[in-house]
């Protein structure tokens, strides 16, 4: 598991964990993110059960366990949060922020100690020391209850499955040539995302945000102008398709 620093301004740090070479071949590669503030840390989309010990090992190199006070799960998928039962043993007094829609489902992963903070459909915010993180609605992209995390100071949007690309663990961290990258994203967005209306609604909402980096849960990070390129491409893309020959 590799660790990359994405942002650091003295008051807080963003790190990305991913490109895990030891992960079993059949499971999708995932990016995990953490925001570390003075006394707290928020771990986002902590990943699948298969990844837990690699993740905890990587995280514990950066912060002590008792500083990880908050977890976030953008939605209910196993690659997002099936490790919950083990985090529940490791961080018994943490709070999990996740869509209200999925509470009774996510609890199936095993949650006896961690507190579930249900995010309402319209989203809300979390204050970590001096840093405010916004949970931005991204419903039906692809999950019917789904949020992004936005940090207006770092200008980072953690976009979950939006912007995801299916790639190998050797893939670079950042999108280099946007047009080249389209091939790796197209099928994922068309096949997993069901609603053009929800998609366009999200594009409108996100266009209003000041974003330097858009960080998906799979694949590469979009930086600078590539963020706008992604929004334009995504807006024009027709989703909710089963299209065998295309991709």
Binding site for Fe ion (CB under 5 A): 77, 79, 161, 217
Q: Contact at 8 Å (CB) between 73 and 56? A: no
Nearer to Fe ion, 50 or 161 (CB): 161
> How far is Cα 67 from Cα 63, in angstroms, rounded to an integer?
7
Nearer to another protein, 92 or 172 (CB): 92
Task: Give the nearest distance from C-beta 212 to Fe ion in angstroms.
Answer: 23
Residue 79 binding: pick among Fe ion, another protein, none (C-beta 5-8 Å cut-off by kind): Fe ion
> How far is Cα 178 from Cα 199, in angstroms, rounded to an integer?
20
The candidate with the shortest Cα–Cα distance to 216, out of 174, 166, 158, is 158
- Interface residue with another protein among 78, 85, 194, 240 (CB under 8 A) is 85
Based on the shown chain and the rule CB under 8 A, indicate whether residue 86 belongs to the binding site for another protein. yes
Nearer to another protein, 85 or 240 (CB): 85
Residue 151 binding: pick among another protein, Fe ion, none (C-beta 5-8 Å cut-off by kind): none
- Interface residue with another protein among 89, 204, 243, 247 (CB under 8 A) is 89
- Stretch near another protein under the rule CB under 8 A, chosen from 60-68, 94-102, 192-200, 229-237: 60-68
Nearer to Fe ion, 77 or 151 (CB): 77
């Amino acid at each position: 598991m590799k660790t990359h620093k994405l942002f650091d301004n003295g008051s807080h740090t963003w790190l990305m964990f991913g490109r895990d070479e030891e992960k079993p071949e059949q499971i999708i590669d995932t990016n995990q993110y953490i925001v570390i503030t003075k006394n707290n840390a928020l771990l986002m989309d902590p990943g699948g059960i298969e990844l837990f010990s690699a993740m905890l090992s990587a995280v514990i190199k950066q912060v002590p366990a008792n500083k990880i006070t908050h977890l976030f799960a953008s939605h209910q998928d196993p690659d997002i949060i099936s490790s919950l039962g083990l985090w529940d043993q490791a961080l018994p007094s943490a709070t999990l922020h996740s869509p209200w829609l999925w509470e009774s489902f996510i609890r199936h992963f095993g949650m006896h100690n961690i507190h579930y903070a249900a995010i309402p459909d319209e989203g809300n915010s979390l204050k970590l020391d001096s840093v405010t993180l916004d949970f931005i609605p991204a419903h039906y992209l692809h999950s019917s209850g789904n949020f992004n995390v936005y940090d207006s100071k770092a200008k980072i949007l953690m976009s979950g499955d939006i912007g995801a690309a299916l790639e190998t663990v050797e893939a670079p961290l950042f999108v280099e040539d946007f047009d080249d990258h389209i091939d790796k994203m197209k099928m994922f967005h068309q096949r997993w995302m069901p609603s053009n209306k929800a998609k366009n609604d999200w594009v409108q909402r996100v266009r209003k945000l000041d974003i330097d980096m858009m960080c998906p849960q799979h694949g590469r990070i979009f930086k600078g102008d590539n963020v706008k390129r992604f929004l334009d491409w995504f807006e024009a893309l027709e989703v909710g398709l089963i299209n065998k020959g295309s991709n």
